[in-house]
Chain A
Amino acid sequence: MAAKPGSAPTTYSPSLTQKTRPPIFKGNDLDWVRPDGRGFHQCRPAFFRTGAVNSASGSAYAEFGNTKVIVSVFGPRESKKAMMYSDIGRLNCNVSYTTFATPVRGQGSDHKEFSSMLHKALEGAIMLETFPKTTVDVFALVLESGGSDLPVVISCASLALADAGIMMYDLVAAVSVSCLGKNLVIDPILEEESYQDGSLMLTCMPSRYEVTQLIFTGEWSTPDINEAMQLCLDACGKLGKVMRSCLKEATSASQE
């Protein structure tokens, strides 16, 4: 007897009584503290695990604080859509959210653009010519959104591709930086993202030092851009090492 057809009751999620929660920082304040107590240039601890989904060719699970993402890779398999003949393989990406991923139920569908952004971030790293005429599907599900969702999805997806044995030039690591007032904060959480004046996301192949995607939005000054990019590149390098060690652990565990 749930939600009788035609008369689905409209619901709302109860909010806090205080309408305006104190903002996490004020105008020119330079030494505010991040809600989770991190330093401005400190990333959340990253956790990766490959082989999360047995029915997929390859898969990975990533957890950065409250951001939890699972990515499955299927293929290379027959291209389903009636498409033109192609000498090189195709990459098909899809990102979706669970209905409970966001603080307010069902807001995850606002991120339609993530699928194509994931595609563009990975495309340059994959050797598409190694699987001609076929398609590799990369499907991501955001289990819980805790900020910096897209960079986590991208890093997790490249790990899942590696787990599936898809040939790549290098792993792809992604990190974002938010500009809040005068400060640059790396790997922002959801609350920080809601206050940001601008954001920058950089995805790169750390061992080749090549950038596959770079996205700026909002208000930036040139020195800030330079600083943010350097921050991202350094963080990507470190993230790449974490991802690499996760892959090594998985293979050494399977050999035993």
Chain B
Amino acid sequence: MGLPNASGDLSTEVEVDAFRRLFPLRFYEKHLSESIRPDARPLGRARDTTIALGAVASANGSALAKIGSTTMLAAIKMEVMTPSTETPDEGCVAIDFHMPPICSPIVRPGRPAEAAPVVSKQLSDTILSSGMISLKELCLVSGKAAWMAYLDIYCLDADGALFDTALLSAVAAFSHLEIPVVSLNDDGKIVLLSEEQEGMSEREPVNKEKRKLTLCSIPFSLTCILHKNYILADPTAEEESIMETLVTIVLDSSSQLVSLYKPGGPVLAYTSAIQDCIAITRQRVKELQKILEEAISVMEVD
């Protein structure tokens, strides 16, 4: 009787849960070889995704996006600023991403998560460079006043694919945004016009009706894990911690590449792997577009 294979012995005798904790990588590889993931998803499938618009009443536009259990709350508040002299007819968008201590056991008060500034920068790069928002639309009085859109995204529950969920919530918040009707008063300040004052006020509103931003080429993203020859779409936090090579691809609604982000990692990606990722993302963008359209139509019915 020969000695039993050490690892084989362990995998049969040790309980599944203990095996998962002790040999996380081997646990995953066993699943991957069967083309399935521990949460019963095929490798290329993203988790269930939902969007709810108008979650925050005190903001001008807001949205709650969930991918699996990763939850993001995005809200936009519009304030007035004086535009710079170089761009007198343009407004501004300030994007900030927060990971408060409630979202994950690794974040504690006073010690912010390392991921937060990275995601924050990625988000503002993507949103501002995708051309989704025309900053000219944020102009109120050329050279005197323009809108400053403060977009704040809070991570309420962190379980992987933070950037994807944050971008989805940001895009949804912009599509929910309603710009308030304002006018210029005698002191050169911008003031709100309440509903009943409209029309009967002696002051002309600066922006005629309740305006919505025209969003062209909306960016959507998908993060994939590269591990050996496998591509895992939309990873959970556990998967991200075990297999460290991530690729995030952002495509706009007409499937044009907006950004591609591969922050290092032990797997060096071949062109073919990247192309496969882009193909999966293209599918995912169609899904996300449909989910967003549905959320907007539900909102309009209400």
A contacts, CB < 8 Å to B = 1-4, 7, 9-18, 52-56, 59, 66, 68, 70-72, 74, 77, 80, 94, 96, 98-103, 105, 137, 139-141, 143-146
Give the distance to chain B from A24, nearest Cβ to Cβ, in Å: 16
Whether B26 is near chain A, meaning CB under 8 Å from some CB there, is no
Partner of B197, one of A11, A17, A52, A66: A17
The 5 closest A-B pairs by CB, nearest first: A11-B79, A72-B102, A100-B75, A54-B69, A139-B101
B105: which of A7, A56, A98 is its contact (CB, 8 Å)?
A: A56
Give the complex CA separation of A105 and B76 in angstroms. Answer: 10
B281 within 8 A of A: no
The interface bits of chain B over 58-88 (1 if a CB of A lies within 8 angstroms of the residue's CB, else 0) are 1100100000010101011111111110000
A9 to B96, CA, bound (A): 16
State whether A70 touches B156 (Cβ < 8 A): yes
Assembled-state Cα–Cα distance A139/B55 (Å): 21
Cβ contact within 8 Å between B59 and A100: yes
**Residues of B close to A17: CB separation below 8 A:** 183, 185, 191-194, 197, 201, 203
20 contacts between A and B (CB under 8 A): A7-B84, A9-B82, A11-B79, A13-B78, A14-B80, A14-B182, A14-B190, A15-B192, A16-B194, A17-B183, A17-B191, A53-B157, A70-B156, A98-B100, A100-B77, A139-B100, A139-B109, A141-B102, A143-B55, A144-B58
What is the CA–CA distance of A101 and B154 in the complex, to the nearest angstrom?
11
Within 8 A of A (CB), among B197-252: 197, 201, 203, 237
Contacts of A98 in B (CB 8 A): 73, 75, 98, 100, 152, 154
Q: Considering the complex, give the chain A residue whose CB is closest to the CB of B83.
A: A9
Q: B201 contacts which chain A residues (CB < 8 A)?
A: 17
Known A14-B80, A14-B191: A70·B102 in contact at CB below 8 Å:
yes
- Are A55 and B95 in touch, CB under 8 angstroms? no
Let me know if B152 and A100 touch, CB within 8 A.
yes
Cβ-defined contact, A96 with B79, below 8 A: no
Question: How distant is B279 from chain A, measured CB to nearest CB, in Å?
Answer: 30
Q: Chain A residues near B95 (CB, 8 Å)?
A: 2
CB distance from A142 to the nearest CB of B (A): 10
Write out the residue numbers on chain A whose beta carbons fall within 8 Å of the beta carbon of B76: 100
A109 CB to nearest B CB, Å = 13
Q: Shortest Cβ distance from A90 into chain B, in angstroms?
A: 14
Query: Hey, what's the 0/1 contact readout for B120-152 against A, CB within 8 Å counting as 1?
Result: 000010001000000000000000000010101
- Provide the B97-117 mask, 1 if CB < 8 A to any CB of A, else 0: 010111111001100000000
Main secondary structure of the interface of A (DSSP, over half): loop
Give the interface of B toward A (CB within 8 A). Answer: 55-59, 62, 69, 71, 73, 75-84, 92-96, 98, 100-105, 108-109, 124, 128, 148, 150, 152, 154, 156-159, 180, 182-183, 185, 189-194, 197, 201, 203, 237
Instruction: From B75, B128, B148, give the contact of A11 (CB < 8 A).
Output: B148
C-alpha spacing A18/B191, complex, angstroms: 9
Expressed in whole angstroms, the Cα–Cα distance for A233 and B81 within the complex equals: 48
**A9 CA to B82 CA in the complex, in Å?**
7
Q: Is A16 touching B79 in the complex (CB atoms < 8 A)?
A: no
Closest residue of chain B to A10 (Cβ to Cβ) is B81
Are A12 and B109 interface neighbours, CB within 8 A? Answer: no
Q: CB-CB < 8 A to B92: which residues of A?
A: 1-3, 9
Query: In the bound complex, what is the Cα–Cα distance between A175 and B159 (angstroms)?
Result: 34
Chain A, residue nearest B148 (CB): A11
Q: Specify which chain A residues have a CB less than 8 angstroms from the CB of B197 in the assembled complex.
A: 17
Q: Is the CB of B102 within 8 A of A59?
A: yes
A94 touches B59 (CB 8 A): no
Q: Inside 8 A of B58's CB, which chain A residues have their CB?
A: 66, 100-103, 144-146
Is the CB–CB distance between B150 and A105 below 8 Å? yes
Docked Cα-Cα span, A102 to B197, in Å, equals 25
Contact of B102 among A15, A80, A102, A140 (CB under 8 A): A140
Set of chain B residues within 8 Å of A53, measured between Cβ atoms: 71, 102-103, 156-157
Q: Please measure, in the bound complex, the distance between the C-alpha atom of A70 and the C-alpha atom of B185, giving whole angstroms.
A: 40
The answer to whether A2 touches B94, judged by C-beta atoms less than 8 angstroms apart, is yes
Complex alpha-carbon distance, A103 and B176, angstroms: 18
Identify which of B82, B108, B148, B152 gathers the most chain A CB atoms within 10 Å of its CB: B148
A213-B68 Cα distance, complex, nearest whole Å? 39
Chain A residue at minimal CB-CB distance from B129: A1
A145–B101 CA distance with the chains assembled, in angstroms = 18
Please state if A16 and B96 are interface contacts (CB–CB under 8 Å).
no
A9: which B residues are within 8 A, CB to CB? 81-84, 92, 148
Please judge, given known A-B contacts A53-B103, A56-B105, A96-B100, whether A14 and B75 are in contact too, CB under 8 Å.
no
**Which of B56, B79, B80, B109 is close to A143, meaning CB atoms less than 8 Å apart?**
B56
* List of B residues within 8 angstroms of A105 by Cβ: 77, 79, 150
Whether the Cβ atoms of B57 and A137 lie closer than 8 Å is no
